Structure 1
């Protein structure tokens, strides 16, 4: 794996852990696709640093389990704003 990819993977993981960010937010922050962030965390990071990989994966799993709630809140806000 190239050095710049390893550096990006570690930066992405650090960002996710510190900010508890979603894949979408992380991808936007780093200017890469959601697929790239997902591959970095699930495939590349465990080879580089398994401990950090577990921490980042735990946060992404939590975000995934809560996404239906965030979607519902966004829809509620959308229609609440339309009523005004």
Structure 2
């Protein structure tokens, strides 16, 4: 890929992440690319491309980080409830 398409991709990824309050994992799955690529694009490249969008993405990522233990606990709860036949 060239630099211009990398920049365009990072803006598309960041816009999706912000508009949907999505996780890096969900964004990667939606676009069929790796989590590492999404994370690098929205944390490193985007900073130099669109600072305002970068700031919004940073807020979403910070929220996701604060909530991840809750999501993990809920997933575990659902797993064991399903295993118990509930």
TM-score band, normalised by shorter chain = over 0.9
Residue 24 (structure 2) aligns with:
23
Give the corresponding residue for 2:73: 72
* Structure 2: runs of 5+ lacking an equivalent: none
Aligned to 1:83: 84
Q: CA deviation at 1:32?
A: 1.1
Unaligned runs of 5+ in 1: none
Segment of structure 1 superposing worse, 15-24 or 1-10 = 1-10
Q: Could you tell me the TM-score, scaled by structure 2's length?
A: 0.93
1:32 matched to 2:33? The reply is yes
* Secondary structure at 2:79 match in 1: helix
**Equivalent position of 2:56 in the other structure:** 55
Report the secondary structure of 1:21's partner residue: coil
- Counting matched residue pairs gives 84
CA RMSD of aligned residues (A): 0.9
4+ runs deviating over 3 angstroms: none
Q: How far apart are 1:79 and its partner, in Å? A: 0.3
CA shift digits 1:34-73 (9 cap, x unpaired) = 1111110111001000010000111011001100000000
